[in-house]
């Protein structure tokens, strides 16, 4: 609903982590600052998925990726998981490896709108609950759970597109 969000994340070992955050604030005018700043994570998206078949991966893709025309992107690690869950391999199409993309320019540097290029999309999560917070007290010998610690994280996603026109937001060199 409008006051909460549910997240499902898959760790590299295949473990599914589910979390629901309630954003009803005690002080709604307060500006939240992350207690921990986590570094930039660069992800190379090397698999294309036909958007019309994305519902096989998650029922949420239609809403989350509503602006996608015909293709969404993912990583080989994620594909392995979906294959183990029984998703047909025909849903996925391999893109050029990162080493092959060296010959492609970043989309922001390509003048011709019909040429293939490497598109970059940045995402910044300014504040999200990331772990339990533990407090210390003179009254208690061991630390105890006393809240949720908040974090900030930045992501950079690279993927190849067949034409510059499919990556018009990528203007940074």
Query: H or E element: which one contains 82?
Result: helix 76-84
Q: What is the per-residue pLDDT for 25?
A: 60
Which residues in the chain show pLDDT less than 50?
1
Helices (H) and strands (E) in the chain, counts: 2, 8
DSSP 100-163: GGGGSPBGGG---TTS-EEEEEEEEEEEEEEEEEEEEETTEEEEEEEEEEEEEEEEEEEEEESS
Q: What is the largest CA-CA distance in the chain?
A: 68
Q: What's the rounded Cα separation, in Å, for the pair 73 and 44? A: 10
Q: What is the per-residue pLDDT for 101?
A: 63
Q: Which residue ranges make up each domain of the chain?
A: 32-166
Q: Which tens digit of pLDDT belongs to each residue from 7-48?
A: 777 777 877 777 666 666 666 677 778 899 998 999 999 999
Q: pTM of the predicted model, to two decimals?
A: 0.69
Report the candidate in 17, 16, 21, 25 with the shortest Cα–Cα distance to residue 5: 21
CA angle 94, 80, 57 (to 5 degrees): 85
How much is the CA Rg of the chain, to the nearest whole Å?
A: 20
């Amino acid at each position: 609903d409008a006051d909460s969000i549910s997240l499902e994340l898959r760790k590299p070992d295949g473990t599914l982590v589910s979390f629901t955050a309630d954003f009803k604030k005690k002080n709604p005018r307060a500006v939240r600052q992350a207690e921990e700043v986590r570094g930039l994570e660069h992800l190379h998206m090397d698999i294309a998925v036909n958007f019309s078949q994305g519902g096989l991966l998650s029922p949420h893709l239609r809403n989350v990726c509503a602006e996608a025309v015909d293709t969404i992107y993912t990583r080989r690690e994620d594909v392995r998981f979906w294959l183990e869950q029984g998703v047909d391999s025909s849903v996925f199409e391999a893109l050029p490896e990162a080493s092959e993309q060296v010959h492609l320019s970043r989309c922001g540097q390509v003048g011709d709108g019909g040429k293939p290029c490497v598109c970059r999309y940045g995402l910044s999560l300014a504040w999200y609950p990331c772990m339990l917070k533990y407090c210390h007290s003179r009254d208690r010998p061991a630390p105890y759970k006393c809240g949720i610690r908040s974090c900030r994280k930045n992501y950079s996603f690279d993927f190849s597109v067949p034409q510059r026109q499919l990556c018009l937001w990528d203007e940074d060199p």
